[in-house]
Structure 1
Amino acid sequence: MTDAQSSKRPLIWFLFWLVALSAPVCSLSVAIGSEPPMISRMLMWCPGTAALLTCLICHLDFRSLGWSWPRARHLGWSYALPWLYAVPVYLLAWAMIPGAFQWDHFSAPLAATFKITTHPTAFAAFFGIPTTMVFIVLGTMAWTLGEELGWRGFLVPRLYARWGYVGTSFAVGLLWAVWHYPVLLGADYNAGTPAAYAISCFTVMVVGLSFVMTWLRMASGSVWPCVILHAVHNTLIQGVLDASTATDGRAPYVTTEFGFGLAVTLGVCAVVLASNR
Protein backbone atom coordinates (compact mmCIF):
# COMPACT_ATOMS: atom_id res chain seq x y z
CA MET A 1 0.00 0.00 0.00
CA THR A 2 1.41 3.40 -0.99
CA ASP A 3 1.68 6.34 1.41
CA ALA A 4 -1.12 8.11 -0.47
CA GLN A 5 -3.41 5.10 -0.17
CA SER A 6 -2.49 4.70 3.49
CA SER A 7 -3.36 8.33 4.24
CA LYS A 8 -6.67 8.10 2.37
CA ARG A 9 -7.78 4.89 4.07
CA PRO A 10 -8.90 6.52 7.36
CA LEU A 11 -10.82 9.20 5.44
CA ILE A 12 -12.62 6.55 3.40
CA TRP A 13 -13.50 4.57 6.50
CA PHE A 14 -14.75 7.71 8.25
CA LEU A 15 -17.03 8.64 5.35
CA PHE A 16 -18.30 5.06 5.15
CA TRP A 17 -19.25 4.95 8.81
CA LEU A 18 -20.65 8.49 8.71
CA VAL A 19 -23.11 7.49 5.98
CA ALA A 20 -23.83 4.04 7.43
CA LEU A 21 -24.68 5.46 10.85
CA SER A 22 -26.41 8.67 9.79
CA ALA A 23 -28.64 7.27 7.03
CA PRO A 24 -30.99 5.20 9.23
CA VAL A 25 -31.30 7.99 11.81
CA CYS A 26 -32.09 10.57 9.14
CA SER A 27 -34.54 8.16 7.49
CA LEU A 28 -36.38 7.73 10.77
CA SER A 29 -36.58 11.49 11.24
CA VAL A 30 -37.87 12.01 7.70
CA ALA A 31 -40.38 9.16 8.10
CA ILE A 32 -41.99 10.80 11.14
CA GLY A 33 -41.57 14.30 9.73
CA SER A 34 -39.80 15.71 12.76
CA GLU A 35 -36.57 15.59 14.71
CA PRO A 36 -37.38 14.87 18.38
CA PRO A 37 -34.56 15.50 20.89
CA MET A 38 -33.55 11.84 21.11
CA ILE A 39 -33.22 11.49 17.33
CA SER A 40 -31.25 14.73 17.22
CA ARG A 41 -28.87 13.40 19.86
CA MET A 42 -28.48 10.09 18.07
CA LEU A 43 -27.66 11.93 14.86
CA MET A 44 -25.15 14.22 16.58
CA TRP A 45 -23.19 11.21 17.79
CA CYS A 46 -22.91 9.65 14.32
CA PRO A 47 -19.78 11.66 13.29
CA GLY A 48 -18.11 10.97 16.63
CA THR A 49 -18.90 7.26 16.48
CA ALA A 50 -17.60 7.17 12.90
CA ALA A 51 -14.33 8.76 14.09
CA LEU A 52 -13.94 6.32 16.98
CA LEU A 53 -14.63 3.29 14.75
CA THR A 54 -12.16 4.58 12.16
CA CYS A 55 -9.45 4.99 14.78
CA LEU A 56 -10.11 1.44 15.96
CA ILE A 57 -10.10 -0.10 12.48
CA CYS A 58 -7.07 1.84 11.22
CA HIS A 59 -5.12 1.53 14.49
CA LEU A 60 -4.94 5.29 14.94
CA ASP A 61 -4.06 6.90 18.26
CA PHE A 62 -7.29 8.04 19.94
CA ARG A 63 -5.34 10.97 21.38
CA SER A 64 -5.14 12.40 17.86
CA LEU A 65 -8.80 13.40 18.24
CA GLY A 66 -7.71 16.28 20.46
CA TRP A 67 -8.65 15.25 23.99
CA SER A 68 -6.06 17.49 25.69
CA TRP A 69 -7.38 20.49 27.64
CA PRO A 70 -6.60 23.81 25.91
CA ARG A 71 -5.39 27.15 27.22
CA ALA A 72 -7.85 29.45 28.94
CA ARG A 73 -7.84 31.99 26.12
CA HIS A 74 -9.15 29.40 23.65
CA LEU A 75 -11.92 28.45 26.06
CA GLY A 76 -12.77 32.13 26.44
CA TRP A 77 -13.04 32.61 22.68
CA SER A 78 -15.16 29.48 22.35
CA TYR A 79 -17.74 30.86 24.78
CA ALA A 80 -17.65 34.49 23.62
CA LEU A 81 -17.75 34.11 19.84
CA PRO A 82 -21.41 33.01 19.49
CA TRP A 83 -22.49 36.06 21.46
CA LEU A 84 -20.45 38.29 19.14
CA TYR A 85 -21.76 36.92 15.85
CA ALA A 86 -25.36 36.11 16.91
CA VAL A 87 -26.63 38.75 19.33
CA PRO A 88 -26.16 41.74 16.94
CA VAL A 89 -28.25 39.93 14.30
CA TYR A 90 -31.18 39.54 16.66
CA LEU A 91 -30.90 43.03 18.13
CA LEU A 92 -31.12 44.52 14.64
CA ALA A 93 -34.01 42.24 13.69
CA TRP A 94 -35.92 43.13 16.86
CA ALA A 95 -35.31 46.84 16.26
CA MET A 96 -36.18 46.89 12.56
CA ILE A 97 -38.99 44.33 12.20
CA PRO A 98 -42.24 45.25 13.99
CA GLY A 99 -43.37 42.48 16.31
CA ALA A 100 -40.18 40.46 15.92
CA PHE A 101 -39.26 40.69 19.60
CA GLN A 102 -41.45 38.27 21.57
CA TRP A 103 -39.81 38.17 25.01
CA ASP A 104 -42.87 36.64 26.62
CA HIS A 105 -42.39 33.51 24.51
CA PHE A 106 -39.22 32.90 26.52
CA SER A 107 -40.14 34.44 29.87
CA ALA A 108 -43.71 33.19 30.35
CA PRO A 109 -43.02 29.41 30.16
CA LEU A 110 -39.97 29.83 32.38
CA ALA A 111 -41.88 31.80 35.00
CA ALA A 112 -44.71 29.25 34.91
CA THR A 113 -42.26 26.39 35.46
CA PHE A 114 -40.95 28.03 38.62
CA LYS A 115 -44.39 29.35 39.62
CA ILE A 116 -43.24 32.97 39.46
CA THR A 117 -46.30 35.22 39.42
CA THR A 118 -44.65 38.63 39.85
CA HIS A 119 -41.98 40.17 37.62
CA PRO A 120 -41.63 37.23 35.20
CA THR A 121 -39.61 39.41 32.81
CA ALA A 122 -36.96 40.21 35.40
CA PHE A 123 -36.90 36.59 36.55
CA ALA A 124 -36.27 35.35 33.01
CA ALA A 125 -33.56 37.95 32.40
CA PHE A 126 -31.63 37.60 35.65
CA PHE A 127 -32.22 33.93 36.39
CA GLY A 128 -33.36 32.24 33.18
CA ILE A 129 -30.66 33.41 30.80
CA PRO A 130 -27.67 32.91 33.17
CA THR A 131 -28.77 29.43 34.23
CA THR A 132 -29.56 28.46 30.63
CA MET A 133 -26.18 29.65 29.42
CA VAL A 134 -24.36 27.69 32.12
CA PHE A 135 -26.26 24.51 32.91
CA ILE A 136 -27.95 23.90 29.55
CA VAL A 137 -24.61 24.54 27.83
CA LEU A 138 -22.94 21.96 30.07
CA GLY A 139 -25.63 19.42 29.25
CA THR A 140 -25.54 20.21 25.53
CA MET A 141 -21.79 19.54 25.44
CA ALA A 142 -22.55 15.82 25.81
CA TRP A 143 -24.17 15.95 22.38
CA THR A 144 -21.96 18.47 20.61
CA LEU A 145 -18.97 16.33 21.60
CA GLY A 146 -20.41 13.66 19.32
CA GLU A 147 -20.33 15.93 16.29
CA GLU A 148 -17.05 17.62 17.08
CA LEU A 149 -15.10 14.39 17.56
CA GLY A 150 -15.94 13.67 13.92
CA TRP A 151 -15.70 17.05 12.22
CA ARG A 152 -12.94 18.76 14.17
CA GLY A 153 -11.40 15.96 16.22
CA PHE A 154 -10.85 13.56 13.32
CA LEU A 155 -11.44 15.26 9.99
CA VAL A 156 -9.91 18.73 10.32
CA PRO A 157 -6.34 17.71 11.33
CA ARG A 158 -6.17 15.07 8.60
CA LEU A 159 -7.34 17.40 5.84
CA TYR A 160 -5.31 20.35 7.10
CA ALA A 161 -2.01 18.74 6.14
CA ARG A 162 -3.31 18.29 2.57
CA TRP A 163 -5.45 21.35 1.91
CA GLY A 164 -4.42 24.00 4.43
CA TYR A 165 -6.69 26.29 6.37
CA VAL A 166 -9.03 27.58 3.67
CA GLY A 167 -9.46 24.27 1.83
CA THR A 168 -10.05 22.33 5.03
CA SER A 169 -12.52 24.84 6.45
CA PHE A 170 -14.52 24.93 3.23
CA ALA A 171 -14.54 21.15 2.68
CA VAL A 172 -15.50 20.25 6.24
CA GLY A 173 -18.07 23.04 6.37
CA LEU A 174 -19.71 21.89 3.15
CA LEU A 175 -19.83 18.27 4.33
CA TRP A 176 -21.21 19.43 7.68
CA ALA A 177 -23.95 21.43 5.95
CA VAL A 178 -24.93 18.66 3.49
CA TRP A 179 -25.08 16.17 6.37
CA HIS A 180 -27.94 18.30 7.80
CA TYR A 181 -29.92 18.50 4.55
CA PRO A 182 -32.14 15.39 5.05
CA VAL A 183 -33.61 16.66 8.33
CA LEU A 184 -33.72 20.21 7.02
CA LEU A 185 -35.75 19.21 3.94
CA GLY A 186 -37.62 16.15 5.18
CA ALA A 187 -38.25 16.90 8.85
CA ASP A 188 -38.81 20.02 10.91
CA TYR A 189 -35.22 21.25 11.32
CA ASN A 190 -35.98 24.55 9.57
CA ALA A 191 -37.68 27.88 10.14
CA GLY A 192 -40.54 27.40 7.69
CA THR A 193 -39.02 29.60 4.99
CA PRO A 194 -38.74 28.34 1.38
CA ALA A 195 -36.40 25.36 1.13
CA ALA A 196 -33.99 26.95 -1.34
CA TYR A 197 -33.67 30.04 0.83
CA ALA A 198 -33.19 28.03 4.02
CA ILE A 199 -30.55 25.76 2.47
CA SER A 200 -28.64 28.67 0.98
CA CYS A 201 -28.49 30.65 4.22
CA PHE A 202 -27.80 27.57 6.32
CA THR A 203 -24.95 26.42 4.07
CA VAL A 204 -23.23 29.81 4.10
CA MET A 205 -23.63 30.00 7.88
CA VAL A 206 -22.22 26.51 8.47
CA VAL A 207 -19.28 26.98 6.12
CA GLY A 208 -18.51 30.30 7.81
CA LEU A 209 -18.71 28.64 11.22
CA SER A 210 -16.38 25.92 9.95
CA PHE A 211 -13.68 28.56 9.41
CA VAL A 212 -14.07 29.58 13.05
CA MET A 213 -14.00 25.98 14.25
CA THR A 214 -10.94 25.05 12.18
CA TRP A 215 -9.06 28.02 13.58
CA LEU A 216 -9.97 27.05 17.15
CA ARG A 217 -9.05 23.39 16.60
CA MET A 218 -5.66 24.03 15.06
CA ALA A 219 -4.75 26.98 17.29
CA SER A 220 -5.60 25.15 20.50
CA GLY A 221 -4.62 21.63 19.52
CA SER A 222 -7.81 20.52 21.26
CA VAL A 223 -11.35 19.56 20.29
CA TRP A 224 -12.84 21.03 23.48
CA PRO A 225 -13.07 24.69 22.34
CA CYS A 226 -15.11 23.47 19.36
CA VAL A 227 -17.35 21.39 21.63
CA ILE A 228 -17.98 24.40 23.85
CA LEU A 229 -18.56 26.83 20.98
CA HIS A 230 -21.00 24.40 19.36
CA ALA A 231 -22.90 24.00 22.65
CA VAL A 232 -23.02 27.76 23.28
CA HIS A 233 -24.12 28.37 19.68
CA ASN A 234 -27.00 25.90 19.91
CA THR A 235 -28.13 27.01 23.36
CA LEU A 236 -27.89 30.75 22.76
CA ILE A 237 -29.49 30.80 19.33
CA GLN A 238 -32.09 28.06 19.63
CA GLY A 239 -32.78 28.21 23.36
CA VAL A 240 -32.73 31.96 24.04
CA LEU A 241 -32.70 34.14 20.93
CA ASP A 242 -35.06 32.11 18.72
CA ALA A 243 -37.30 31.54 21.74
CA SER A 244 -37.64 35.32 22.07
CA THR A 245 -38.34 35.99 18.39
CA ALA A 246 -41.48 35.79 16.27
CA THR A 247 -41.73 32.64 14.17
CA ASP A 248 -43.80 34.21 11.40
CA GLY A 249 -43.61 37.26 9.15
CA ARG A 250 -40.22 38.62 8.12
CA ALA A 251 -38.29 37.67 11.25
CA PRO A 252 -37.40 34.06 10.22
CA TYR A 253 -35.86 35.38 7.01
CA VAL A 254 -33.32 37.32 9.08
CA THR A 255 -32.94 35.28 12.26
CA THR A 256 -32.53 31.56 13.09
CA GLU A 257 -29.85 29.36 11.52
CA PHE A 258 -31.80 29.57 8.26
CA GLY A 259 -31.93 33.35 7.87
CA PHE A 260 -29.44 35.65 6.20
CA GLY A 261 -28.30 37.39 9.40
CA LEU A 262 -26.03 34.64 10.72
CA ALA A 263 -24.92 33.85 7.17
CA VAL A 264 -23.63 37.42 6.90
CA THR A 265 -21.90 37.63 10.28
CA LEU A 266 -20.25 34.21 9.99
CA GLY A 267 -19.37 34.89 6.37
CA VAL A 268 -17.53 38.00 7.57
CA CYS A 269 -15.78 35.91 10.24
CA ALA A 270 -14.64 33.47 7.56
CA VAL A 271 -13.26 36.23 5.34
CA VAL A 272 -11.40 37.86 8.25
CA LEU A 273 -9.89 34.58 9.43
CA ALA A 274 -8.94 33.48 5.92
CA SER A 275 -7.27 36.83 5.30
CA ASN A 276 -5.27 36.68 8.54
CA ARG A 277 -4.65 32.95 8.88
Structure 2
Amino acid sequence: MKNIFINRPVITFLFITFALSSIFYFLIIHTGKLRSGFDMYVTGLMWTPGISALITSLILGRKISELGWQWGKTKYQLRSYLVPLLYTFIAYIIIWSFGWGGFYNEEFVSQVATSFGWTQLPSGLIIVLYFIIMGIFGMPFYSATAMGEEIGWRGFLVPELFKNFNYTITSLIVGIIWAVWHFPILIFADYNSGAPYWYSLSCFTLMVISISFVFTWFRLKSNSLWTGVILHASHNLFIQSIFTPLTKDTGNTKYFFNEFGIVLPVVCGCFAIYFWRNRSKLISTTE
Protein backbone atom coordinates (compact mmCIF):
# COMPACT_ATOMS: atom_id res chain seq x y z
CA MET A 1 0.00 0.00 0.00
CA LYS A 2 1.49 3.30 -1.07
CA ASN A 3 1.68 6.37 1.10
CA ILE A 4 -0.51 9.28 -0.05
CA PHE A 5 2.43 11.65 0.40
CA ILE A 6 4.48 9.91 -2.30
CA ASN A 7 1.58 9.41 -4.70
CA ARG A 8 2.61 11.73 -7.53
CA PRO A 9 -0.82 11.95 -9.25
CA VAL A 10 -2.58 12.81 -5.98
CA ILE A 11 0.04 15.35 -4.89
CA THR A 12 0.02 16.97 -8.33
CA PHE A 13 -3.76 17.22 -8.29
CA LEU A 14 -3.89 18.67 -4.78
CA PHE A 15 -1.12 21.19 -5.47
CA ILE A 16 -2.88 22.51 -8.58
CA THR A 17 -6.27 22.51 -6.83
CA PHE A 18 -5.16 24.57 -3.86
CA ALA A 19 -3.02 26.85 -6.03
CA LEU A 20 -5.98 27.71 -8.26
CA SER A 21 -8.35 27.86 -5.28
CA SER A 22 -6.14 30.44 -3.56
CA ILE A 23 -7.13 32.96 -6.24
CA PHE A 24 -10.79 32.62 -5.39
CA TYR A 25 -10.11 32.35 -1.65
CA PHE A 26 -8.53 35.78 -1.87
CA LEU A 27 -11.37 37.30 -3.88
CA ILE A 28 -14.07 35.90 -1.58
CA ILE A 29 -12.23 36.71 1.64
CA HIS A 30 -11.47 40.23 0.35
CA THR A 31 -15.20 40.94 0.05
CA GLY A 32 -16.10 38.77 3.03
CA LYS A 33 -19.07 37.34 1.16
CA LEU A 34 -19.39 33.98 -0.57
CA ARG A 35 -21.89 35.34 -3.08
CA SER A 36 -19.82 38.36 -4.08
CA GLY A 37 -19.04 39.06 -7.72
CA PHE A 38 -22.54 37.94 -8.76
CA ASP A 39 -21.63 34.39 -7.64
CA MET A 40 -18.72 34.28 -10.08
CA TYR A 41 -16.12 33.90 -7.32
CA VAL A 42 -17.78 30.89 -5.69
CA THR A 43 -18.51 29.32 -9.08
CA GLY A 44 -14.86 29.71 -10.00
CA LEU A 45 -13.84 28.15 -6.71
CA MET A 46 -16.15 25.18 -7.19
CA TRP A 47 -14.65 24.51 -10.60
CA THR A 48 -11.02 24.49 -9.44
CA PRO A 49 -10.99 20.75 -8.52
CA GLY A 50 -12.41 19.85 -11.93
CA ILE A 51 -9.99 22.05 -13.84
CA SER A 52 -7.15 20.66 -11.72
CA ALA A 53 -8.20 17.08 -12.57
CA LEU A 54 -8.12 17.91 -16.27
CA ILE A 55 -4.71 19.58 -16.01
CA THR A 56 -3.33 16.72 -13.92
CA SER A 57 -4.59 14.18 -16.45
CA LEU A 58 -2.83 16.05 -19.23
CA ILE A 59 0.40 16.25 -17.24
CA LEU A 60 0.26 12.51 -16.56
CA GLY A 61 -0.58 11.72 -20.17
CA ARG A 62 -3.92 10.19 -19.26
CA LYS A 63 -7.10 10.28 -21.28
CA ILE A 64 -9.81 12.63 -20.02
CA SER A 65 -12.26 9.79 -20.64
CA GLU A 66 -10.75 7.95 -17.66
CA LEU A 67 -12.44 10.32 -15.21
CA GLY A 68 -15.70 8.34 -15.21
CA TRP A 69 -17.91 10.09 -17.75
CA GLN A 70 -19.95 6.96 -18.48
CA TRP A 71 -23.52 7.20 -17.17
CA GLY A 72 -23.68 3.80 -15.52
CA LYS A 73 -26.91 2.23 -14.31
CA THR A 74 -29.76 4.71 -13.98
CA LYS A 75 -30.85 3.21 -10.65
CA TYR A 76 -27.71 4.58 -9.02
CA GLN A 77 -28.31 8.04 -10.48
CA LEU A 78 -31.88 8.00 -9.16
CA ARG A 79 -30.72 6.90 -5.72
CA SER A 80 -28.07 9.62 -5.81
CA TYR A 81 -30.87 12.15 -6.13
CA LEU A 82 -33.02 10.63 -3.41
CA VAL A 83 -30.41 9.95 -0.71
CA PRO A 84 -29.67 13.65 0.06
CA LEU A 85 -33.40 14.35 0.07
CA LEU A 86 -33.86 11.56 2.62
CA TYR A 87 -31.12 12.56 5.06
CA THR A 88 -32.03 16.24 4.78
CA PHE A 89 -35.73 15.49 5.35
CA ILE A 90 -34.91 13.40 8.44
CA ALA A 91 -32.63 16.10 9.83
CA TYR A 92 -35.17 18.89 9.44
CA ILE A 93 -38.06 16.83 10.78
CA ILE A 94 -35.96 16.40 13.93
CA ILE A 95 -35.17 20.12 14.03
CA TRP A 96 -38.80 21.16 13.61
CA SER A 97 -40.11 18.51 16.01
CA PHE A 98 -37.84 19.58 18.87
CA GLY A 99 -38.42 23.28 18.24
CA TRP A 100 -34.77 23.93 17.38
CA GLY A 101 -36.17 25.61 14.29
CA GLY A 102 -39.71 26.38 13.24
CA PHE A 103 -41.76 25.26 10.28
CA TYR A 104 -42.33 27.37 8.38
CA ASN A 105 -40.64 30.74 7.68
CA GLU A 106 -43.57 32.98 6.73
CA GLU A 107 -41.31 35.68 5.30
CA PHE A 108 -39.62 33.26 2.92
CA VAL A 109 -42.92 31.73 1.80
CA SER A 110 -44.24 35.23 1.17
CA GLN A 111 -41.19 36.00 -0.99
CA VAL A 112 -41.76 32.79 -2.96
CA ALA A 113 -45.43 33.63 -3.46
CA THR A 114 -44.59 37.11 -4.73
CA SER A 115 -41.82 35.88 -7.01
CA PHE A 116 -43.94 33.18 -8.66
CA GLY A 117 -47.18 35.15 -8.65
CA TRP A 118 -48.86 32.81 -6.19
CA THR A 119 -50.04 35.42 -3.69
CA GLN A 120 -53.64 34.17 -3.86
CA LEU A 121 -52.71 30.59 -2.98
CA PRO A 122 -52.67 29.12 0.55
CA SER A 123 -49.24 28.78 2.17
CA GLY A 124 -49.33 24.98 2.22
CA LEU A 125 -49.88 24.78 -1.52
CA ILE A 126 -47.16 27.37 -2.15
CA ILE A 127 -44.67 25.24 -0.21
CA VAL A 128 -45.64 22.08 -2.10
CA LEU A 129 -45.45 23.76 -5.50
CA TYR A 130 -42.12 25.39 -4.66
CA PHE A 131 -40.73 22.05 -3.47
CA ILE A 132 -41.75 20.32 -6.71
CA ILE A 133 -40.53 23.05 -9.04
CA MET A 134 -37.19 23.51 -7.27
CA GLY A 135 -36.74 19.76 -6.89
CA ILE A 136 -36.99 19.37 -10.66
CA PHE A 137 -35.80 22.55 -12.31
CA GLY A 138 -33.25 23.47 -9.67
CA MET A 139 -31.14 20.40 -10.43
CA PRO A 140 -29.59 21.65 -13.71
CA PHE A 141 -28.45 24.86 -12.00
CA TYR A 142 -26.90 23.09 -9.01
CA SER A 143 -25.42 20.38 -11.22
CA ALA A 144 -23.54 22.98 -13.26
CA THR A 145 -21.53 24.07 -10.24
CA ALA A 146 -21.38 20.67 -8.52
CA MET A 147 -19.82 19.17 -11.62
CA GLY A 148 -16.76 21.39 -11.15
CA GLU A 149 -16.02 19.82 -7.81
CA GLU A 150 -17.05 16.30 -8.73
CA ILE A 151 -14.77 15.96 -11.75
CA GLY A 152 -11.98 16.49 -9.24
CA TRP A 153 -13.11 14.77 -6.05
CA ARG A 154 -14.98 11.78 -7.44
CA GLY A 155 -13.80 11.78 -11.04
CA PHE A 156 -10.08 11.84 -10.25
CA LEU A 157 -9.28 11.64 -6.54
CA VAL A 158 -11.50 8.75 -5.40
CA PRO A 159 -10.45 6.23 -8.08
CA GLU A 160 -6.81 7.33 -7.77
CA LEU A 161 -6.75 6.71 -4.03
CA PHE A 162 -8.76 3.51 -4.37
CA LYS A 163 -5.90 2.02 -6.38
CA ASN A 164 -3.88 1.87 -3.15
CA PHE A 165 -6.36 2.18 -0.29
CA ASN A 166 -9.57 0.44 0.69
CA TYR A 167 -13.03 2.01 0.66
CA THR A 168 -12.84 3.16 4.27
CA ILE A 169 -9.49 4.92 3.99
CA THR A 170 -10.35 6.38 0.58
CA SER A 171 -13.60 7.84 1.92
CA LEU A 172 -11.85 9.24 4.98
CA ILE A 173 -8.98 10.86 3.08
CA VAL A 174 -11.23 12.41 0.44
CA GLY A 175 -13.63 13.63 3.15
CA ILE A 176 -10.84 15.33 5.09
CA ILE A 177 -9.40 16.99 1.98
CA TRP A 178 -12.86 18.03 0.83
CA ALA A 179 -13.62 19.59 4.21
CA VAL A 180 -10.27 21.37 4.56
CA TRP A 181 -10.68 22.82 1.08
CA HIS A 182 -13.73 24.72 2.43
CA PHE A 183 -12.02 26.02 5.58
CA PRO A 184 -10.75 29.40 4.29
CA ILE A 185 -14.21 30.61 3.21
CA LEU A 186 -15.80 29.20 6.33
CA ILE A 187 -13.35 30.86 8.72
CA PHE A 188 -12.64 34.12 6.91
CA ALA A 189 -15.86 34.75 4.96
CA ASP A 190 -19.58 34.28 5.57
CA TYR A 191 -19.93 30.60 4.65
CA ASN A 192 -21.65 29.73 7.93
CA SER A 193 -24.94 30.17 9.78
CA GLY A 194 -23.76 32.66 12.36
CA ALA A 195 -22.60 30.27 15.08
CA PRO A 196 -19.00 30.55 16.39
CA TYR A 197 -16.64 29.51 13.61
CA TRP A 198 -15.10 26.67 15.65
CA TYR A 199 -18.56 25.17 16.14
CA SER A 200 -19.57 25.61 12.50
CA LEU A 201 -16.22 24.21 11.40
CA SER A 202 -16.61 21.12 13.57
CA CYS A 203 -20.17 20.38 12.41
CA PHE A 204 -19.34 21.02 8.78
CA THR A 205 -16.25 18.79 8.90
CA LEU A 206 -18.20 15.93 10.46
CA MET A 207 -20.92 16.26 7.84
CA VAL A 208 -18.52 16.36 4.88
CA ILE A 209 -16.49 13.38 6.06
CA SER A 210 -19.73 11.46 6.65
CA ILE A 211 -21.21 12.10 3.23
CA SER A 212 -17.83 11.31 1.68
CA PHE A 213 -18.58 7.68 2.57
CA VAL A 214 -21.86 7.97 0.66
CA PHE A 215 -20.32 9.71 -2.36
CA THR A 216 -17.42 7.25 -2.53
CA TRP A 217 -19.73 4.23 -2.31
CA PHE A 218 -21.85 5.42 -5.23
CA ARG A 219 -18.79 6.39 -7.30
CA LEU A 220 -17.21 2.96 -6.90
CA LYS A 221 -20.45 1.03 -7.26
CA SER A 222 -21.62 2.86 -10.40
CA ASN A 223 -18.17 3.53 -11.91
CA SER A 224 -19.59 6.93 -12.87
CA LEU A 225 -18.76 10.44 -11.67
CA TRP A 226 -22.36 11.41 -12.46
CA THR A 227 -23.52 9.89 -9.19
CA GLY A 228 -21.26 12.42 -7.46
CA VAL A 229 -22.64 15.29 -9.53
CA ILE A 230 -26.23 14.32 -8.75
CA LEU A 231 -25.53 13.66 -5.06
CA HIS A 232 -23.74 17.00 -4.72
CA ALA A 233 -26.40 18.95 -6.63
CA SER A 234 -29.24 17.28 -4.71
CA HIS A 235 -27.49 17.93 -1.38
CA ASN A 236 -27.00 21.64 -2.12
CA LEU A 237 -30.47 22.04 -3.61
CA PHE A 238 -32.49 20.59 -0.76
CA ILE A 239 -30.42 22.14 2.02
CA GLN A 240 -29.69 25.58 0.59
CA SER A 241 -32.83 26.32 -1.42
CA ILE A 242 -35.59 24.39 0.31
CA PHE A 243 -35.26 23.12 3.88
CA THR A 244 -32.98 25.80 5.34
CA PRO A 245 -34.90 28.84 4.02
CA LEU A 246 -38.18 27.19 5.03
CA THR A 247 -36.96 26.97 8.63
CA LYS A 248 -37.87 29.78 11.01
CA ASP A 249 -35.28 30.95 13.52
CA THR A 250 -36.48 30.18 17.04
CA GLY A 251 -33.49 31.70 18.83
CA ASN A 252 -30.69 29.14 18.72
CA THR A 253 -31.53 27.63 15.33
CA LYS A 254 -28.07 28.45 13.96
CA TYR A 255 -26.64 25.75 16.25
CA PHE A 256 -28.90 23.05 14.80
CA PHE A 257 -29.77 23.61 11.15
CA ASN A 258 -28.00 23.88 7.81
CA GLU A 259 -24.58 22.34 7.16
CA PHE A 260 -23.12 24.15 10.18
CA GLY A 261 -25.48 22.94 12.91
CA ILE A 262 -25.24 19.62 14.73
CA VAL A 263 -28.33 17.73 13.49
CA LEU A 264 -27.45 17.19 9.82
CA PRO A 265 -23.92 15.91 10.60
CA VAL A 266 -25.33 13.37 13.06
CA VAL A 267 -27.91 12.12 10.55
CA CYS A 268 -25.26 11.99 7.80
CA GLY A 269 -23.04 10.06 10.20
CA CYS A 270 -25.76 7.41 10.45
CA PHE A 271 -25.93 7.22 6.67
CA ALA A 272 -22.14 6.89 6.54
CA ILE A 273 -22.35 3.90 8.88
CA TYR A 274 -25.03 2.31 6.71
CA PHE A 275 -22.94 2.59 3.53
CA TRP A 276 -19.79 1.53 5.36
CA ARG A 277 -21.57 -1.61 6.52
CA ASN A 278 -22.42 -2.30 2.86
CA ARG A 279 -18.83 -1.86 1.67
CA SER A 280 -18.64 -5.57 0.88
CA LYS A 281 -20.78 -4.87 -2.19
CA LEU A 282 -17.86 -2.97 -3.68
CA ILE A 283 -15.06 -4.65 -5.58
CA SER A 284 -11.82 -4.20 -3.64
CA THR A 285 -8.53 -6.06 -3.34
CA THR A 286 -7.58 -4.33 -0.11
CA GLU A 287 -10.65 -4.73 2.10
TM-score normalised to structure 2 length: 0.91
Alignment partners' CA distance in 1, 2:11 and 2:90: 40
Alignment correspondent of 2:253: 251
* Rounded Cα–Cα distance in structure 1 between residues aligned with 2:214 and 2:29: 30
**C-alpha distance in 1 between matches for 2:251 and 2:86:** 25
| Contact 2:100 2:256 (C-alpha < 8 Å) held by counterparts | no
Structure 1 residues 111 and 155, CA gap change in structure 2 (3 angstroms): same
Counterpart-to-counterpart distance in 2, 1:39 and 1:200 = 24
Distance 2:69 2:63 in 1: 11
How far off its partner does 1:99 sit?
5.8
Which protein has the bigger helix share?
1
Per the alignment, residue 212 of structure 1 pairs with: 214
Q: What is the CA distance between 1:147 and its match in structure 2?
A: 0.2
The match for 1:117 is 119
Work out the CA distance in 2 between the residues paired with 1:231 and 1:201: 20
Q: Mapping of 1:17-28 within 5 angstroms?
A: 17-28=16-27
Contact 2:69–2:225, Cα closer than 8 Å, also in 1? yes
- Deviation, structure 1 residue 106: 3.1
Q: 1:91 to 1:15 in 2, by over 3 A?
A: same
Range moving further from structure 2, 162-171 or 86-95: 86-95
**1:132-143 matches, cutoff 5 A:** 132-143=134-145
- Specify the SS of the correspondent of 1:60: coil
**Residue equivalent to 1:276:** 278
Report the identity percentage.
Answer: 40
Q: Which residue of 1 aligns with 2:283?
A: none
One-letter amino acid of the counterpart of residue 259, structure 1: G
Shift of 1:272: 2.1
Q: Aligned match of 1:265 in 259, 264, 267? A: 267
Q: CA shift at 1:123, angstroms?
A: 4.2
Aligned length: 274
Q: CA RMSD in A?
A: 1.8
Aligned counterparts of 2:167 and 2:138: Cα–Cα separation in 1: 32
Q: Could you say what secondary structure the match of 1:243 adopts?
A: coil
Shift of 1:163: 1.2
**Which runs of structure 2 are paired with 1:91-240 in the superposition (5 Å)?**
91-97=93-99, 100-240=102-242
Partner SS for 1:129: helix
Kept in 2, the 8 Å contact 1:201–1:259? The answer is yes
Question: What does residue 16 of structure 1 align with?
Answer: 15
Task: Using the TM superposition, name which of 220-229 and 112-121 deviates more.
Answer: 112-121
SS at match of 1:229: helix
- Contact 2:100/2:250, CA 8 A, preserved across alignment: no
SS at 2:103's partner residue?
A: coil
Does the 8 A contact of 1:111 with 1:120 survive in 2?
no
- Verify the 8 A CA contact 1:191 1:258 in the aligned structure 2: yes
CA distance in 2, matches of 1:155, 1:112: 44
Relative distance call for 1:109 and 1:195 in structure 2 (3 A) is: same
Task: Select between 202-211 and 99-108 the one with higher mean Cα deviation.
Answer: 99-108
SS at match of 2:192: coil
CA distance in 2, matches of 1:224, 1:75: 7
Letter in 2 for 1:241: F
Q: Deviations over 1:163-193 (max 9, x none)?
A: 1100000000000000001110111110110
Contact 2:118/2:126 (<8 A) preserved = no
1:70 partner SS: coil
Aligned to 1:67: 69
Give SS of 2:71's match. coil
Q: Which runs of 4+ in 1 moved over 3 A?
A: none
Cα displacement string for residues 129-161 of structure 1 (whole angstroms, at most 9, x for unaligned residues): 111111111111011000000000000001012
Cα pair 1:35 1:189 within 8 Å, conserved: yes
Task: Report the more deviating stretch, 164-173 or 263-272.
Answer: 263-272
Q: Distance in 1 between matches of 2:119 and 2:144?
A: 34
Q: Distance in 2 between matches of 1:247 and 1:96?
A: 13
Task: Give, in angstroms, the shift of residue 231 of structure 1.
Answer: 0.4
Deviates more, 1:216-225 or 1:13-22: 13-22
**Worse overlay, 263-272 or 145-154:** 263-272
Q: Deviations over 1:53-101 (max 9, x none)?
A: 0011111121111100121210121011012111111112112116622
CA distance in 2, matches of 1:274, 1:215: 8
Give, in whole Å, the separation in 1 of the partners of 2:26 and 2:3: 34
Of the structure 1 ranges 87-96 and 218-227, higher mean CA displacement relative to structure 2 is found in 87-96
* Distance in 1 of aligned mates of 2:206 and 2:251: 22
C-alpha distance in 2, partners of 1:148/1:248? 35
